[in-house]
Amino acid sequence: MTARDLRQFILPDDLPALDDLEMSKPLEETAYTHARLRFVRRDQTTVWISINARAVRNPATSESFRYVLSMRDITGRTALEEKLSALALTDSLTGLWNRRAFDQALRREWKRTLREKSRLSLLLLDLDHFKSLNDRFGHALGDECLVAVASAITDSVRASDFVCRWGGDEIAVILPATDHAGALRAGEKVRSAVEALHFRAEDHDGECVLVTASVGLATAAREADQRTAIPQNLLRAADLALYRAKHDGRNRVAVAHNFPAGETEAAVTAVTAEGCHTQIMQEKADLRERDGLVQEGRPDGIDGL
């Protein structure tokens, strides 16, 4: 079979990889070049094939005059690798993306925002009085609530939006190519979807349990003077807006305004969820102090709100 014959079986998206394989030239006869390509069977199903190519040289001239290909079906192994990769980035309870996936998506979407000179928005959502719900009705109902909330939020946003479990009862939604007005509509839609949920506490005589959520919203864009509002600032602003929504009465969307701009695109590489936590908590404490909320002995954080 020649390379030309091979092309008719390969998925069009993978043809560049075949071109790379054909152009590569192993320095030694024992050296191999390798590629993983998708082949289309006669029944139109797709299989993954591992291809190793080895050069056969003319003993007299040492020039390559033919290549020997060995091919192996690795469909099962590839499916397993993809499954393991997805599990590493997925929250086991809700099925949403986890915080590691969030970090990756936020960096990726911000770089796209810079390229396309677009806008990027972020929603941070926290369930109101969720700790009290867990304490009163038990963690089984709390887990049921989280799963239902995750499903409601996913159904409320676009397929291109990125929904992840930020941690505990907090959920983050990355909204690519979304300006402030669009993000505000999305935030209100998500809040309403959560408010519409009802649960029955079977261990408490079927008592009806209602759930609400507070939402913090922030939007970033590349500015005309070439400065950039980098992702950790976006994350910090959305989290402070979330705290403001809690402080103002819960079950509402609060908007971040005039958060600091970054200076360079290179700062994108430093963004991680954990890296922002200390600074966020300090700014929350400063906000509480300005609002006269700090009382001696009062616990820090918003988990109980």
Output the domain CATH number for residue 224. Answer: 3.30.70.270
Distance CA 183, CA 191 (A): 12
Q: What is the pLDDT along the chain (305 residues), one digit of tens a residue?
A: 444 567 788 888 888 877 776 666 554 554 567 788 888 888 888 898 888 777 676 667 666 556 677 888 888 887 887 777 776 889 989 999 999 999 999 999 998 888 888 899 999 999 999 999 999 999 999 999 999 999 999 999 999 999 999 989 999 999 999 999 999 999 999 999 999 999 988 888 889 999 999 999 999 876 544 444 467 788 889 999 999 999 999 999 999 865 544 433 323 322 333 444 444 455 555 555 555 543 333 333 334 45
Phi, psi of 29 (to 5 degrees): -65, -25
The parent domain of residue 105 ranges over: 90-290
Instruction: Tell me, yes or no, whether 75 and 94 share the same domain.
Output: no
Number of domains comprising the chain = 2
Residue 296, in any domain of the structure: no
Instruction: Tell me, yes or no, whether 234 and 133 share the same domain.
Output: yes
Phi, psi of 152 (to 5 degrees): -65, -40
Neighbouring residues of 53: CB distance < 8 A, sequence distance ≥ 6: 21, 24, 26, 32, 33, 34, 35, 67, 68, 69
Instruction: Tell me, yes or no, whether 114 and 33 share the same domain.
Output: no
Domain boundary pick from 55, 81, 107? 81
Instruction: Tell me, yes or no, whether 101 and 69 share the same domain.
Output: no
Instruction: Tell me, yes or no, whether 50 and 130 share the same domain.
Output: no
